[in-house]
A and B are shown apart, each in its own frame.
Chain A
Amino acid sequence: MPVDVADPATAAADALLPRPFRVVANRRETSDTVTLELEPLDGDGLAFAAGQFTMLQAFGVGEVPISISGDPARPGLLVHTIRDVGGVTRALCAAEVGDVLGARGPYGRGWGVSDARGGDVVVVAGGIGLAPLRAAVLEVVRARSGFGRVHVLYGARTEDDLLFGDDLEEWAAEPDTEVAVIVDRAATSWPGRVGLVTELVRAAAFDAPRTLALVCGPEVMMRFVGAELTARGVPASQVRLSLERNMRCGVGLCGHCQLREYLLCVDGPVLSLDAVRPQLGIREL
Chain B
Amino acid sequence: MTDVESAVALDLAGLQALVDLLAAEGYTVLGPTVRAGAVVPGRVTTVDDLPRGWGDTQEPGSYRLRRRDDEALFGYAADAISWKSVLFPSRELMWSGTRTADGFSITAGEGSGGLGDPPYAILGIRACDLHAVAIHDRVLQERALPDVHYAARRKDAFLVTVSCSDPSGTCFCVSMGTGPRAESGFDLALTELLGDEHTFLARAGSERGRTVLDRLGSRPAADGEVVAADEVVERSTRRMGRTMDTTDIRTLLYDNADHPRWDDVASRCLSCGNCTMVCPTCFCTSAEDHTSLAGDTAEHWRVWDSCFTSDFSYLHGGSVRSSTKSRYRQWMTHKLASWIDQFGTSGCVGCGRCLTWCPVGIDITEEVAAIRADPRPTAEQTPIEQTPIEQGGGG
Q: Which residues on A are within 8 Å of B, measured CB to CB?
A: 1, 9, 12-18, 20, 22, 41, 59-63, 66-67, 83, 85-86, 100, 102, 126-129, 131-132, 155-157, 161, 184, 196-198, 216-224, 226-227, 242, 244-246, 248-249, 251-256, 258, 260-261, 263, 266, 277-278, 280-285
Contact = CB atoms under 8 A, between A and B. Distances in A.
A255 B108 CA distance: 22
Contacts of A220: 385, 387, 389-390
30 contacts: A1-B107, A12-B146, A17-B94, A18-B95, A60-B291, A60-B298, A67-B395, A100-B103, A102-B106, A131-B395, A155-B391, A157-B390, A157-B391, A196-B389, A218-B390, A221-B390, A223-B383, A227-B384, A246-B314, A248-B285, A253-B143, A254-B305, A255-B283, A255-B307, A256-B313, A261-B338, A261-B342, A281-B380, A283-B326, A285-B321
Given A15-B145, A85-B316, A260 B338 contact: yes
B284 A256 contact: yes
Given A255-B285, A285-B326, A246 B312 contact: yes
B326 A13 contact: no
Contacts of A67: 395
A186 to B, nearest CB: 13
Contacts of B380: 277-278, 281
A197 B390 CA distance: 11
Most buried by A among B94, B106, B394: B394
A9 B148 contact: yes
Given A221-B391, A261-B341, A285-B257, A227 B320 contact: no
B271 interface: no
A206 to B, nearest CB: 21
- The size class of the interface chain B forms with chain A is 35 or more
Contact of A128 (B105, B317, B392): B392
Nearest to A261: B341
Contacts of A283: 326
Given A184-B391, A218-B389, A59 B104 contact: yes
B285 A281 contact: no
B25 interface: no
Contact of B394 (A9, A66, A217, A261): A217
Interface of B: 94-95, 97, 99, 102-108, 139-140, 143-148, 151-152, 254, 257-258, 283-287, 289-291, 295, 297-298, 300, 302, 305, 307, 312-317, 320-323, 325-326, 330, 333-334, 338, 341-342, 378, 380-385, 387, 389-395
Contacts of A12: 145-146, 148, 151
Given A223-B384, A255-B285, A282-B381, 13 more contacts: A20-B102, A59-B104, A85-B317, A197-B389, A218-B390, A227-B382, A249-B285, A254-B284, A254-B285, A256-B312, A263-B342, A281-B380, A285-B320
B313 to A, nearest CB: 6
A102 B104 contact: yes
Nearest to A243: B394
Contacts of B103: 20, 22, 41, 100
B285 A219 contact: no
Nearest to A63: B287
Contacts of B314: 246
